[in-house]
Structure 1
């Protein structure tokens, strides 16, 4: 197995507007980013800076304008078959029960229905949903739907897990429970994870490394921080660790001005200067 599960090598992404004379917009510029096998990497940056664009490239849903993506040392061509993608909004089918939703990816891969059901049931139990397999999404709480979506991804046993702000819509207590569940499952299987979040606390609490992106256009990495907090971690308790506070201060010092730039661009106003405090 290659040392790196996922490699972005000098990736740029330029979009052309359909209106306004086909004006070009460079969302991501000259970005190099590596995720090692078994490593949990979080990416933080201002709103609209292109974080989700990187995930779509990693999944093979979007082809970069220039540069190369490698998966375990091999150039990515088309859909990344070694990755599972957990979206910000649940990709559950409302007409299918929880177990049927978890089964669907296995069925698409040609797994026999009986085996797919057994594996889906095992994963639902692993994420704490034993006994809820026959419930439909509208009968599940927000946290339960997230658990179902997580089981749906993990049932495929991907070597790389791509997560796009998967817990942002949850209340803080449910969110922390889900974060701890993900960490426990990750520790057991040690898959490579590329995790997108707006929450710097979440990024530090969960990750081996945090990458900071600049404000757009032309987003690029401007800082990388090794998170040397001991594992296993409880995402609530680790926030009181003095090293956590120190890391937060260091990363926020890099991220703060980019957040202000992104905010000013959205308002079409000049940046007035830095402010203290968390994002």
Structure 2
């Protein structure tokens, strides 16, 4: 039985090792001895070099990937299989091209067996909440990138998950659309204060949105090397908050830890090219 003081999501001493398809004896450890706790209602961002294993942690949290060692628990209960208390918003569009925006938003409700009229009513309400009222009959190819992201966000949040997992969801958007989406997400999050694990490579984005930022080392064997409480006032506008003196201080502190790892990650990416 979960208690109020238990984390919404707890990864304890998690290690994840993959075997090569060509040679099973060749093994790669993406994540090593990582502990990450997220409290109910807490917005936590994870930053690190490209390819360091951020998405691996997210997939473990979602139950899409099983760790080689360590434990994962959700509100005090061991995670077995898919994390049914989490909603997952992917980096790439996960919309079904043959379904309208409304049908994409209500897909999860339909799979759960909700009556069609009730699902439609909820879907229309969520489209309105994300600024797409009147666009329910449009198909993904008829929507802009920002509009597709709004549909994906509604598709995730309509199920009212206790934990929201987000894998660089706005990285493909232009800066203006991205900031609009970030503010919309913060507004929706503030209404119900669900636990959020947000993966990003953008330090500005992480600081402007989060309660806490966790820094990962370069891979292989990535693990947390820094953790920073973000004590900026809420509510926040992600563009305006970046001129706040405390934002500038936090950015300098976190970048001081992250910079060397980014350089390490960059050098590791160059090695295969040099070898070829």
Question: Paired residue for 1:214, among 212, 217, 220?
Answer: 217
Q: What SS does structure 2 have at the residue aligned with 1:54?
A: helix
Cα deviation per residue 1:145-193 (whole Å; 9 max; x = unaligned)?
Answer: 0000000000000000000000000000000000000000000010000
Q: Is the 8 A contact 1:142 1:170 kept in 2?
A: yes
Shift of 1:21: 5.2
Q: Is the 8 A contact 1:2 1:73 kept in 2?
A: no
Write the distance in 2 (CA, Å) between the matches of 1:105 and 1:21. Answer: 37
Q: Which residue of 2 aligns with 1:27?
A: 30
Q: Which residue of 2 aligns with 1:77?
A: 80
Q: Which runs of 5+ in 1 are unaligned?
A: 270-279
Q: Which residue of 1 aligns with 2:247?
A: 244
Q: What SS does structure 2 have at the residue aligned with 1:7?
A: strand
Write the distance in 2 (CA, Å) between the matches of 1:264 and 1:47. Answer: 11
1:198 matched to 2:201? The reply is: yes
Cα deviation per residue 1:101-122 (whole Å; 9 max; x = unaligned)?
Answer: 0111001111111111111111
Cα deviation per residue 1:11-49 (whole Å; 9 max; x = unaligned)?
Answer: 000000011453011000000000000000000000000
Question: Paired residue for 1:184, among 187, 212, 228?
Answer: 187
Cα deviation per residue 1:207-264 (whole Å; 9 max; x = unaligned)?
Answer: 0000000000000000000000000000000000000000000000000000000000
TM-score normalised according to structure 2 size: 0.96
Q: What SS does structure 2 have at the residue aligned with 1:184?
A: helix
Q: What SS does structure 1 have at the residue aligned with 2:222?
A: coil
Write the distance in 2 (CA, Å) between the matches of 1:84 and 1:101. Answer: 15
TM-score normalised according to structure 1 size: 0.95
Question: Paired residue for 1:102, among 102, 105, 125?
Answer: 105
Q: What SS does structure 2 have at the residue aligned with 1:268?
A: helix
Superposition RMSD on alpha carbons, in Å? Answer: 0.9
Q: What SS does structure 1 have at the residue aligned with 2:45?
A: strand
Cα deviation per residue 1:68-89 (whole Å; 9 max; x = unaligned)?
Answer: 0000010000000000000001
Q: Which runs of 4+ in 1 moved over 2 A?
A: none
Q: Is the 8 A contact 1:5 1:192 kept in 2?
A: yes
Q: Which residue of 1 aligns with 2:90?
A: 87
Shift of 1:139: 0.5
Question: Paired residue for 2:235, among 232, 235, 255?
Answer: 232
33-42 vs 112-121, which deviates more? 112-121
Q: Is the 8 A contact 1:164 1:196 kept in 2?
A: yes
Q: Which residue of 1 aligns with 2:64?
A: 61
Question: Paired residue for 1:127, among 125, 130, 138?
Answer: 130
Write the distance in 2 (CA, Å) between the matches of 1:175 and 1:190. Answer: 21
Q: Which residue of 2 aligns with 1:117?
A: 120
Q: Which residue of 2 aligns with 1:276?
A: none
Write the distance in 1 (CA, Å) between the matches of 2:246 and 2:271. Answer: 37
Write the distance in 2 (CA, Å) between the matches of 1:242 and 1:178. Answer: 24
Q: Which runs of 5+ in 2 are unaligned?
A: none
Question: Paired residue for 1:253, among 241, 251, 256?
Answer: 256
